[in-house]
Amino acid sequence: MKSPIPDYLKQVLEHVRPQDGGTPADYIETLAKADTSRLAVALAMVDGQIYSAGDDTVEFSIQSISKAFVYAMAIEDAGLEAVLAKIGVEPSGDAFNKLSLERGSNRPMNPMINAGAITAHLSNLSVDEEVYEAELRDADRNMGIGYMLKAAGIITCVPREAVTGYIRQCSINVNVKDLAMMLATLCNAGIHPVTGESIIPQTSVRQVFSVMTTCGMYDAAGAWVSRIGIPAKSGVAGAIIGALPGQVGIATFSPRLDERGNSVRGVKICERLSSDMGLHMM
């Protein structure tokens, strides 16, 4: 029997399509020129089934969504205790690009803000060179954060290397189906739903989902949790990921952002999915 889910996802996209408020990120030249008509959603179930609608093969840079996965990799690489010694788990209540170091320990408040992500950075993947070069041309703020982290004794490497690595990590190309499957892997206790490969230990998944819940949507995290109620993370190219652990990974894409850097239509899609499918954790 044909699944009704793809038709439902198309309806959800048509429902949010007229909501065209917001603007694409303007501080990265390539993102400022984004085609704002783009709109996509994908759901990946923990049994490996994937459903999608709209511009589901269009690629965009992963941006801050990479922070959730790089945090998991840092825990894998150095162990949770060592990571916690350098990066806190408290919401900063501030924009993603504020320094937000914890008083006393000097640790970045959490791994979802830039200071925490620059500290956790270790990835080495292929990137969209145009987005990378565009952001690097205008990276004074992130370079400043890198130098402050070095001065505070949190990182010990050359700050420029940590920041350029972080910007490359943000420039990795993905589409909504890739993101949904990455998330379904986390939702499936760190085991890839299709290959059965164990990618991330369950203890790290719990840690990642915890900080996504409290810090993933930055200074909109409280409103997000009360309205939509699932762990989530946004990126300035216009993607949002949301997770229902044990069940489904969700990814949306639409480039226009609200004043907090979260995709306007993406938030609406997640609101609709959460209410229709009863996803809220409460």
3 state SS of 242 = strand
Q: Is position 234 an interface residue for ligand DON (rule: CB under 6 A)?
A: yes
8-state DSSP, 162: H
Judged by CB under 6 A, the residue of 9, 134, 170, 228 near ligand DON is: 170
Which residue, 170 or 248, is less far from ligand DON as judged by CB? 170
Among 54, 165, 229, 235, binds ligand DON (CB under 6 A): 235
116 or 261, CB closer to ligand DON?
261
* x/- track of binding to ligand DON for residues 243-262 (CB under 6 A): ------------------x-
* Residue (121 or 193) nearer to ligand DON, CB: 121
Residues 6+ apart with CB under 8 A from 41: 9, 12, 13, 52, 53, 54, 56, 176, 250, 251, 252, 253, 269, 273
Residue 123 and residue 7: Cα distance in Å, rounded?
A: 37
Contact (Cβ atoms closer than 8 angstroms) between residue 263 and residue 239: yes
Question: Do 171 and 61 meet the contact criterion of CB atoms below 8 Å apart?
Answer: yes
* Kind and range of the H or E run holding 91: none
108 vs 193 by CB, closer to ligand DON: 108
**How far apart are the C-alpha atoms of 26 and 34, rounded to whole Å?**
10
Distance separating the N- and C-terminal Cα atoms of the chain: 33
Nearest by Cα to 179 from 121, 123, 131, 242: 242
Q: Is 270 in the site for ligand DON (CB under 6 A)?
A: no
How near is the Cβ of 27 to ligand DON at its closest, in Å?
7
Stretch that binds ligand DON, among 120-128, 175-183, 194-202, 228-236 (CB under 6 A): 228-236
Residue 254 phi/psi, 5-degree rounding, is -165, 125
Closer by beta carbon to ligand DON, 117 or else 205: 117
| 92 contacts ligand DON (rule: CB under 6 A) | no
Of 56, 128, 135, 219, which one interacts with ligand DON (CB under 6 A)?
135
Among 63, 110, 204, 252, binds ligand DON (CB under 6 A): 63
Minimum distance, C-beta of residue 212 to ligand DON, in the bound complex (Å): 13
Query: Which residues sit at the interface with ligand DON, rule CB under 6 A?
Result: 63-64, 96-97, 114, 135, 142, 167, 170, 234-236, 261
